[in-house]
Amino acid sequence: MNTTPAKDLQQEAERIQYSLRSAFFFRRRREFHNFAEEIDKLEPSHYCWDSLDELGISRSSWEYVTNKGIPYTQIFCHPKVISDNPPLIAYYRLLAVLPQKGVQRLAFGINKMEEGKGRKLSLERAQRLSQVLNTYISSLIDETPTFSIDDAFLVAQMNLGAQVNGSWRNEIGAEGSRRVKELILTYFLGRGLVNLIIAKDGSRIAPPTRRPLADEIQGFVAMNGYEVIFGSEPDISIINPQGVLEAAIEVKAGIDPAGARERYGAAKRSFDKVLRENKAATTIYLASCVTESVRKEMAGDRLVRQDFNLTDVLLDEQAKENFFDYICWLMHLSGA
């Protein structure tokens, strides 16, 4: 029987949700600026702008941008630009104030291409997409007598904010895992406990001057040779200097108490694989909104050797300290 009051679980769900939401929005704040920096590197004269009609650019908007001295590539989407670098589709789509679903209806799906994961974009398809984007960008310029690049950037970021807000609920789990990885990386780097950074390609390099993001690396090697690897299933692995998997952490940031059992089941499947590799490994369940029934099941389950409350670890300094004390003890860094 679940003896944990529903009110307490709801309060915990709200605490973890708002903490992760703020981190999610803050982390994604620079996306448009990063695109703009890439666009600034382009030389407009390297592209042919002779046929404005084929590019979907109105004559009046072209003249306005010319008179204002705005580099053409900052405003208008040239097919060659997005064919060479498909993620820049997002820059022009945001300027056009179009959602991804809108572009899919008007042209074709571009979500994967914006993420750099889609198939190569042919010049023919890039031409079609540029026409759509430039038509909307031209319309905004023509309908706004006081149009400026600063206003265009502001509206583009508002468009990005709407997109981020719409995707937030689907990202709670991933954001929770990302947040824990960032905490671990920050903790170890801040105490001088990192000997080497493990890059995405597996190479090992000295810690750079600029602290890397957890998403940018594969993991790190501690001063005593222990490795902390960021991944999925498990989210975090701890490997001793002999190459043996000694511990695994599963992070479950779900906020719906009704889904607590499902999240626990997913973690158990991951832990089962870990224990098949090393039956002596320590499995750590780091979750929010754990119902009493799941906690009872966990107490008698051989697959989970230790657990921590994710909400507390993220928001309470003492809980965070206890968590890191335990991780350092596992890695024989208890003196840290």
At 1, the pLDDT band (50, 70, 90 cuts) reads very low
Looking at residue 2, its pLDDT comes to 39
- pLDDT tens profile 162-179: 888 887 777 788 888 999
The pLDDT of residue 153 is above 50: yes
At 336, the pLDDT band (50, 70, 90 cuts) reads low
Reduce the DSSP state of residue 205 to 3 states and report it.
Answer: strand
- pLDDT tens profile 4-19: 454 576 677 778 887 8
The pLDDT of residue 332 is above 50: yes
Sheet of strand 227-230: strand arrangement: 204-205, 194-199, 217-222, 227-230, 236-239, 245-252, 282-287, 306-309
pTM: 0.70
CB 106 within 8 A of CB 96: no
User: What's the distance, CA 86 to chain centroid?
Assistant: 19
Going by the DSSP 8-state scheme, the letter that residue 212 receives in this structure is: P
**Cα distances (angstroms) measured from residue 227 to each of 194, 207, 321, 331:** 9, 14, 20, 9
Question: Where are any strands of DSSP class E within the chain?
Answer: 194-199, 204-205, 217-222, 227-230, 236-239, 245-252, 282-287, 306-309
- pLDDT tens profile 188-237: 999 999 999 999 999 999 998 888 888 899 999 999 999 999 998 899 99
Looking at residue 291, its pLDDT comes to 85
At 334, the pLDDT band (50, 70, 90 cuts) reads low
Looking at residue 4, its pLDDT comes to 47
Query: Lowest-confidence range among 20-24, 271-275, 331-335?
Result: 331-335
The mean per-residue pLDDT over the stretch 130-135 comes to 97
Indicate the domain borders of the chain: 42-147, 171-330
Write a three-state SS string for 41-81. CCCHHHCCCCCHHHHCCCHHHHHHHHHHCCCHHHHCCCHHH
- pLDDT tens profile 49-87: 999 999 999 999 999 999 999 999 999 999 999 999 999
The mean per-residue pLDDT over the stretch 155-167 comes to 89
Torsion region of 94: left, alpha or beta (phi above 0 gives left; psi -120 to 50 gives alpha):
alpha
| CATH of region 171-330 | 3.40.91.10
